[in-house]
Structure formats: structure tokens, C-alpha cells
Amino acid sequence: MTDLKCKLLIIGAGPGGYVCAIRAGQLGVDTIVVDESKPGGTCLNVGCIPSKALIHAAEEFYRISAANAGPLGISASAPSIDLGKTIEWKDGIVARLNGGVSALMKKAGARFVEGRARFIDGKTISVIKDGQEIQIRAEHVVIATGSAPMELPFLPFGGDVMSSTEALELTGVPKTLAVVGGGYIGLELGTAFAKLGAKVTVVEAAERILPTYDKALTQPVAKRLDALGVTVMTGAKAQAYEGGALMTDQGAVQAEKVLVTVGRRPRTQGIGVEELSLTMDGPFIKIDNACQTSMRGIYAIGDVCGEPMLAHRAMAQGEMVAEHVAGHAVEWDKRAMPAVCFTDPEIVTCGALPSEIDGTKSVDFPFMANGRAMTCEREDGFIRVVYREDDNAIVGLQAVGEGMSEMSAAFSLAIEMGTCLEDIGATIHAHPTRSEGLQEACLKALGHALHI
């Protein structure tokens, strides 16, 4: 058994963990990162990056497939897809990013130890790999173990019942696919497989899809799903998978494969967290505004702390914790944190929603009045601005439309910088772009929109 010592020990090399390690190394903090898998965590290996690669491939395939039916005068022979080759391409991207993350941690001076970690006490961690144990003692420990897909007892993962992880490894497009859960993960992957040619049925227990988003933002997504031939069953409960069919309280759904996306659970079991008697918030670890837990010297970041489970939230928390350990006066501020749903069309939210804060109003600008949206045959959706009535300060921005994920930085920057309607209204926006919708929404709120 070999013992190691460091100032900062990070359990988990996902987005939060590796960013924490890189920043800590930059600040001269002696850092060790422990993970039993490759650096990058769920996001890089089996989540954000792989799913966006599949979504992109599906969109390219669908554009070619649908060209003959469009008004553009384009003729194309029937396309085909080798999904196995697509998965190889996706895996190549993941491998490149794995190597990049490892190189960045090494460059910053952080050491990576591969193996499964478990607390011995608040300062000591046991790491086991291939039956060999290493003990690491640290002044500060960061729990950054992330989350895992939730399993339903009547739909256990295995065989034809998949989590998002297995769905991203399929080498063939199923003829029929049932998606249990109409949240962002289920709809992102369900839409991709529908564009690849699968007959997709979404089973959602709530009365509408994307129930955590406000209804106005989800309506264009629901309309698009219908246009893609996706069947959506709302207010429906899955019960079992028998004989190639998903059984629900609204009848049987024929399904070659079943994708279960009903949420994610924090990965806190098996690392000895329960033995530390940390204060919990339900299944999540409770933290303060510096991401410190109830035990001095132990921090927690990312999905183990609860919603919103976003990679960029974990990254920001990891950076902040590294600075806190280095002695900087920092604390968590999430007011300008954007969230993106990569459905078709995409949804972006940042800051307050309409009516969430007293004394605010909201207006929206529809893409049907936007020249760039028209030339791309995608006039669905809008950009919305939420502002305080007394001083016109922008406190929230939301949008639904094609390519809206790229507006997320503008939204968070506007709120972070404390901009007012007049600031964005007076800023020249390039024409023709969808981003003009942001300026037009602000001008509309001021009473003098130019193009509606």
C-alpha cells in the first residue's frame, strides 16, 4: 500500500472535478483527482457530448431525407445511414476530448489516480484498483461524483430496456422506440431517433412534455414532434415491458427498444458519504454558498448537490471551490446561469421567468417576423425578455427556436452585466440574424418595435 498526500483531493473527474483540478493547479494548490473512469465524467463520455454528436448526425440525415418534400427545389436520392460508423465518429470525438482533459490537468500540475474512491474519514480516502489499495490524505476534499440515470423497478435496465448511456451506443436504428419520460433527455434522444427513421412514442406521466419549462416555450417543441411523426402520450404511466411492447395505463405501445429517461440520481452511494454524517437535502448533499458541506474541509459540487444538473454549473462551482481553497474570497452566484434544452427547436432560459418576480413584465418577439428565420424555413419560436417595470432592468431571457443554444451566452451576459432594455435596444445587431429578435423584443417592451 502506497500513501499519498495533497492539499486538495477531488473525487470525480467530470466537468466539475477536472475544472476544479485545473484551476487549483493554476493557483499552486497541490491537487490529486481520483476517478474509476476516463476523465470527463458523464457529460463528456456518455452524456452532453455524445448526445449532441448523435443529434447533429440525425439532423443532417433528416435534412437530406426531407429535401425532396421541401419548397427549395432540391432533389436527392434516398439517403442511408450506417449508425455504427456514426458511433465510431462520436467515440473519436470523445477520445480526443478525454486526451485533452488529461493533458490540461497534467499541464496544471494536478495528479490523476485511477480507481474507486471511498472515505475512510474526513481527511483520508482509500482508492482501490485491480485489488490494490492506495490511501490518500488531504487537507480539503471535493465530492464531484456526479449522477446516474434513475431506474424504474418495473423497467430495470438491461436487454431492450435502456438508459441514455445504452441508447448512445446503438449501432442500428430501432424500427420502433418507446421513450418513458418527456423531459429534455428523452425528447433530445427521441427526436434524434425519429429523424433517423424510428417510429417513436413518448410516454409522459405529466399533462404535457417538458413539464419543468413554462408552457409557451414547450408548445413549438410539441408541434415539431407532431410534424416529425412522434406520438406523444401525456398523462400516461408506463407499467411494464412484455413481448416487445411497453404496457401503459393507456394501452400497449409496440417498441423494439425502450428508453427510460425519468431523471437522474446523485452518485453518493459506495463512496462512504453516509459514514461522514453529512447534512443532506433529500438525496443530495447540502452545501453553503461556498459549496462547503456540514463537515469542515469537505466540499461538494455538481449533480450531487441537486438541481439544476448542468455541466456548466458544476464547472463554475469547481472553479470557485479551487479559488476558495486557495484563500480567495468567493461565493456562489447563480443568477445568470443559462439552461439549454437541445430539442427541436431548442429552448434556452436564463434568469427569472414571467411573473416569478413581483414588479416585472415580459414581452416576446416571434421568429415569424425575422428574416433569417424565414430564409431557413424555421419561423417557429420566439425570444422573450423579462424586465422590471420601475427601471427596465432585464432580469430574465428565454427563447425557443432553431439554433437558440448559441444565444445562451448573450442572455447570461446581459443579465450578469445588469443591462436594461435601452442598452440592448440601442445595440446594433447584425442583419439578417436570429439574434435581432433579442433587440426587437427589447424595443417592443419600450413601445417601438421596428419589425412587428
421 a known binding residue? no
Q: How many residues are present in the chain?
A: 452
Q: How far apart are CA 118 and CA 115, in angstroms?
A: 10
DSSP secondary structure letter of residue 205:
S
Can you read off the three cell numbers belonging to residue 210?
417538458
Query: Of all helices (H) and strands (E), which one includes residue 437?
Result: helix 436-445
H-state helical runs in 257-399: 311-325, 371-375
**300 a known binding residue?**
no
Q: Is 431 a catalytic residue?
A: yes
Q: What secondary structure does DSSP assign to 60-103, as a single string?
A: HHHHHHHGGGSSS----PPP---HHHHHHHHHHHHHHHHHHHHH
182 assigned binding-site residue: yes
Q: Is 184 annotated as a binding residue?
A: yes
Please tell me whether 100 is known to bind a ligand.
Answer: no
Of these residues, 140, 324, 431, 448, which one is catalytic? 431
Is 18 annotated in a binding site? The answer is no
Query: Of 340, 366, 376, which Cα lies nearest the Cα of 452?
Result: 366
Q: What stretch of H or E contains 177? A: strand 176-180
Closest CA to 63 of 172, 55, 354: 55
181 labelled ligand-binding? yes
3-state secondary structure of 415: helix
**172 annotated ligand binder:** no
User: Is 103 part of any known ligand binding site?
Assistant: no
Q: Is the dihedral of CA 165, 50, 338, 329 positive or negative?
A: positive
Is 59 marked as binding a ligand? no
For 184, the enclosing helix (H) or strand (E) is helix 184-195
In angstroms, the CA 262 to CA 163 distance is 9
Q: Binding residue per annotation — 263?
A: yes
203 within 8 A of 253, measured Cβ to Cβ = yes
**Where do the H-state alpha helices sit in 1-47?**
15-26, 41-46
Helix (H) or strand (E) holding 59: helix 48-66
Inter-residue contact 407 to 383 (CB < 8 Å):
yes
418 is in an annotated binding site: no
Query: Is 188 a known ligand-binding residue?
Result: yes
Question: How far apart are the C-alpha atoms of 395 and 189, rounded to whole Å?
Answer: 31
337 is known to lie in a ligand binding site: no
Q: 352 labelled as ligand-binding?
A: no
- The answer, yes or no, to whether the previous bond of 308 is cis (omega within 30 of 0) is yes
Residue 422 CB neighbours (<10 A): 13
> Is residue 183 annotated as involved in ligand binding?
yes
Q: Which three cell numbers stand for residue 333?
A: 452566484
99 annotated as a binding-site residue:
no
448 annotated as ligand-binding: no
Cell numbers of 354, please?
A: 414571467
| Annotated binding-site residue? 52 | yes
Residue list for the binding site: 52, 145-147, 181-188, 204, 263, 303, 309-312
Catalytic residues: 431
Residue list for the binding site for FAD: 52, 145-147, 303, 309-312
Residue list for the binding site for NAD(+): 181-188, 204, 263
